[in-house]
Structure 1
């Protein structure tokens, strides 16, 4: 299996190869590389597509210790080093967007373009933090069954695929799931630094997103200097690339063909 030894972790990744521009996809919290299944198949012919599992997620092997999204950004640039890639377009969903924006701040010369899907630059409000702590405690104390009915609805909102992701949660240790959510609560506010992100950016947001409401997507698109467009995914919740690829993929492919 392909692993990259980066910053004390063994990051699992999949690489389509090829000579096209490199695009790295970073998944959301409690998800993994498979959340990009509807994008990788479409784009792999024109781009070198890389997907990976972040710490505490999927097949990546790590020490289980707390980390920040700045650490995740360093993991991403370390993965680029492992791949021998000097510059890539970054596509991030939710926490994948958190780390992609931070990578653009830490190493702007490595980032050619950004696609930010249902993500934000702000810190969580108190009510969201309280909800996340409850989810973390639910995973730790009783496992996925305790939180799945509500959480899957919030993250996906498409019952036909709920069982697939519940099965993935069941395959992970409870503590790992709980710790992954705990990391999410530590996201810091980087709004004041968005002016430093000058690469072309595409913001995509579901208008029915509950964890990161649509107005935050509008705010993000208005504050990144290089933002080319805000794509509103009608009727989509928090994971439009997975649930509404017919609306996401044309905008994503068009943007990457112009800027990646």
Structure 2
């Protein structure tokens, strides 16, 4: 195991957390943040906040904007302001944006239950029922991408369209060195970082921080493979990753081909699903390059995805 790979991976996570924390105002323990898009100067406040009691969990959520419902699912160790603080204002103008903090993250307290993709998907399903939303578009990033896949597998009737950014549907979807690094990630490497600061800011006991990190990482330390299930997902799918991501290109391509890709659209018509590989973009950089993927995702969510006829 290359210690420099681990160190580089952690440094970029912490850098992302620092940038996110600097851009988002500090708030009291249970008060929703007013998010700001620094690129356009827009600020938005939530129209609804609260806790949904689902599956023995009090799941914290916020709702912004109006329009078609769009659920955003954050990555490992993140919370709403850290992952979505600069992104919510850019989507809330055209969508009803629903953001939640997964088990043990942010303002959602942990419970005596494993942290797993299936359970978190069931929690999101319960949140939509709590909000009386029949179906929504679901966008997941990294860990949230796995939750998004499981939402479409376990609760297909609640998913209109699916967006997965830098997420995998099998444990070997990561590059081998990335997958091997997961076992070395503990709470010690985050000591003094914004990730630990955010953990404490929401009232969590830092004495349990290492247990929290280990519990989150446990979801990726157990082999999983949903290849068969994701290929049968009926919802149109947008797959996004960076050209320097932790996700293997072949992993994304295999699913895209199963969803109708891999053919010349001028001859055979366009598939209802889409694939994008962003240039100069790492796994963590996916959130930093939102200016590239937000227009693509918005077009995907808003477009008529009827298969286009051949051009000639």
- Shared fold, TM over 0.5: yes
Equivalent position of 1:252 in the other structure: 297
Matches within 5 A, 1:52-71: 52-71=100-119
Does the 8 A contact of 1:206 with 1:239 survive in 2? no
Which residue, out of 142, 145, 151, partners 1:97?
Answer: 145
Give RMSD over aligned pairs.
2.4
1:196: Cα distance to partner? 1.6
Where does structure 2 lack aligned partners over 5 or more consecutive residues?
1-29, 31-49, 261-270, 306-312
Deviation at 1:43, TM superposition (A): 1.3
CA offset digits 1:67-105 (Å, max 9, x no partner)? 321111111100101111000000001121111111111
**Match of residue 74, structure 1, among 94, 99, 122:** 122
Task: Name the TM-score, length of structure 1 as normaliser.
Answer: 0.82
Q: Secondary structure at the match of 1:55?
A: coil
Q: For residues 223 and 156 of structure 2, what CA distance do their matches in structure 1 show?
A: 20
8 Å Cα contact 2:164-2:239 kept in structure 1: yes
Give 1:132's aligned residue.
Answer: 182
Is 2:269 the partner of 1:221? Answer: no
Look up the match of 2:215. 179
- The 3 A distance-change label for structure 1 pair 170 and 206 is farther
Cα gap change, 1:219 to 1:39, in 2 (>3 Å): farther
More helix by share: 1
> Secondary structure of the equivalent of 1:102?
helix
Structure 1 or 2, whichever has the larger Rg, is: 2
Match of 2:131 in 1: 83
Structure 1 contact 91–115 (Cα < 8 Å) conserved? yes
> What is the alpha-carbon distance in structure 2 between the residues aligned to residue 199 and residue 170 of structure 1?
38
CA contact (8 A) 1:68 1:187 kept: no
Q: Measure, in 1, the Cα distance between the counterparts of 2:223 and 2:69.
A: 27
Q: Give CA deviations for 1:41-89 in whole Å, capped at 9, x if unaligned.
A: 1111211001111112111123143132111111110010111100000
Q: Which has the higher contact order (CA 8 A, sep 6+)?
A: 1
| 1:127–1:28 distance in 2 versus 1, CA, 3 Å | same
d(CA) in 2 for partners of 1:247 and 1:78? 32
Cα pair 1:207 1:237 within 8 Å, conserved: yes
User: 1:7–1:75: 8 Å Cα contact kept in structure 2?
Assistant: yes
SS at the partner of 2:137?
strand
> What is the TM-score when the length of structure 2 is the normalising length?
0.69
Query: What is residue 99 of structure 2 aligned with on the other side?
Result: 51
Alignment of 1:40 with 2:119, yes or no, is no
Output aligned runs, 1:134-173, within 5 Å: 134-135=184-185, 138-139=186-187, 142=188, 144-145=190-191, 164-165=194-195, 167-168=197-198, 173=209
Encode CA deviations 1:123-182: one digit per residue, 9 max, x unaligned: 2477555421211xx31xx3513xx9xxxxxxxxxxxxxx65464356552221221112
User: How many residues matched?
Assistant: 238
Any idea what SS the aligned residue of 1:188 has? coil
Matched residue SS, 2:110: coil
C-alpha change, 1:94 and 1:204, in structure 2 (3 Å) is same
